[in-house]
Amino acid sequence: MGKVLLICSGSGGAGKTTFAVNLSIALAKQGKRVLLFDINVGRRNVDIYLGMEDRILFDLGDVISGLCKLDKAIIPYDLCDGLSILACPQYREIEGFGAGHVKALFEALRQRFDVIVTDCPVSIGTTLRVFSSGADSALLLTVPDHTSVRNAEALNEKLAALGIEKRFFAINRIDKQYSGTGSIPGINYIARTVQLPLVGMVSEDPAIHIANNSGMPVVLDSSTDMAMRFEAIAQRLDI
Ligand SMILES: Nc1ncnc2c1ncn2[C@@H]1O[C@H](COP(=O)(O)OP(=O)(O)O)[C@@H](O)[C@H]1O
Ligand SMILES: [Mg+2]
């Protein structure tokens, strides 16, 4: 049975979608059957980072409303065997979708995939509360600034209270120019504050930003340093 991993953060822009996309590809490269599931209703981004905007004919809302079957809304990603995506609606809400529906949906997805990587909305809102009811683990992201670290700490407590026992964190957008100078929170301080196993660190790198915007995730080219970073995190994840 597949496992559901939530990719979340206490502050916006910490890199949830970047990590969800690159880790999904890295996990698929390991031979796993991976579903990258975008639950950012109204703020769908995964398809853009994968260059799949034109491929989304049906989404989760269509499945729930009965317009199409689940398998029709699951779209294989052409550039990496083993990876598929399930999008959420961009221009409408999903009405009347509760914990019971999420459990049934995740059960159906667990039959089809080894890992369901879920790109979450920021912090804990209604959507994440509902979806967390069916999840196995969570990767929390923070960037090295005090607001992001404090919000990660708060989110960690909420996820624990929601019963997600397996939680780990990663630090994104580490700027080598300031790291270790004392002018921004250092790695040790962040690790002491968040109090979770640290599974990886990713630098601030324009290559990531350009890759996201061109719909060609960095991890596709295994020869790069950035790709190796994400592949190492995927290896380390105990999901
Ligand atoms: N390590 C990084 N280096 C440079 N830019 C990054 C990095 N991680 C993310 N970004 C950029 O930061 C912005 C927010 O990233 P995103 O993954 O969309 O965050 P979130 O999903 O948490 O809102 C995007 O413009 C993305 O391209
Ligand atoms: Mg996002």
- pLDDT confidence of residue 30: 96
pLDDT band (50, 70, 90) for residue 14? very high
User: What pLDDT is attached to residue 168?
Assistant: 98
Name the percent of the chain lying above pLDDT 70: 100
Q: Pocket around ligand 1: residues whose beta carbon is below 6 Å from it? A: 9, 12-18, 45, 172-173, 202, 204-205, 208-209, 212
φ and ψ of 117, to 5 deg: -90, 120
pLDDT at site 3: 98
Question: Which DSSP category does 175 fall into?
Answer: -
Mutating to test ligand 1, I would choose from 8, 16, 18, 219 the residue with most ligand atoms within 8 A of its C-beta, which is 18
Kindly report, residue by residue over 98-121, the tens digit of the pLDDT.
Answer: 888 899 999 999 999 999 999 999
Between 32 and 93, residue with greater pLDDT: 32
Sequence ranges of the domains in the chain: 3-236
Taking 90 as the threshold, does the pLDDT of residue 177 lie above it?
no
- Residues flanking ion ligand 2, Cβ below 5 Å: 16-17, 45
Q: pLDDT tens-digit profile of 188-199? A: 999 999 999 999
Are 102 and 4 in contact by the 8 Å Cβ rule? The answer is: no
Residues 198, 191 contacting (CB under 8 angstroms): yes
Instruction: Tell me the CATH number for domain 3-236.
Output: 3.40.50.300
